[in-house]
Amino acid sequence: MEYSNNLEELEKIDKLKNKVLKYILYKKRTEKEVREKFQEEIDENTLEDIIEFMKENNYLNDSEYIERAVNEFMALKNMSIREIEYKLSQKGVNKNLIDDYICKNKEIMLEYELRSATNIVRKKINSMEEQDIKSLLFKRGYMSEIISIAIDEGKE
Q: Tell me: do 68 and 133 sit in the same domain.
A: yes
Q: Tell me: do 56 and 76 sit in the same domain.
A: no
CA neighbor of 136 nearest in space, from 86, 81, 89, 80: 80
Residues 69 and 88 sit within 8 Å (Cβ to Cβ)? yes
Average pLDDT, the chain: 91
| Per-residue model confidence as pLDDT tens digits over 106-140 | 999 999 999 999 999 999 999 999 999 999 999 99
Instruction: Return phi, psi of residue 71, to 5°.
Output: -60, -40
Residue 95 has pLDDT above 60, yes or no: yes
6-12: long-range contacts, CB 8 A cutoff, minimum separation 24: none
Residues 99, 89: Cα–Cα separation, whole Å: 11
Global pTM reads 0.83
pLDDT, position 1 = 43
Q: Tell me: do 81 and 23 sit in the same domain.
A: no
Residues 154 and 118 sit within 8 Å (Cβ to Cβ)? yes
Q: Tell me: do 32 and 90 sit in the same domain.
A: no
Q: How many domains are there within the chain?
A: 2
Q: Tell me: do 144 and 106 sit in the same domain.
A: yes
Q: Tell me: do 43 and 80 sit in the same domain.
A: no
Residues 6+ apart with CB under 8 A from 58: 64
Residues 39, 85: Cα–Cα separation, whole Å: 25
Q: Tell me: do 72 and 114 sit in the same domain.
A: yes
Residues 6+ apart with CB under 8 A from 66: 88, 93, 97, 98, 101
Q: Tell me: do 113 and 70 sit in the same domain.
A: yes
Q: Tell me: do 11 and 76 sit in the same domain.
A: no
CA neighbor of 124 nearest in space, from 116, 114, 132: 132
Q: Tell me: do 10 and 21 sit in the same domain.
A: yes
Residue 10 has pLDDT above 90, yes or no: no
Quote the domain boundaries for residue 49. Answer: 2-60
Residue range 43-51: mean pLDDT, rounded:
91
Q: Tell me: do 44 and 80 sit in the same domain.
A: no
Q: Tell me: do 16 and 50 sit in the same domain.
A: yes
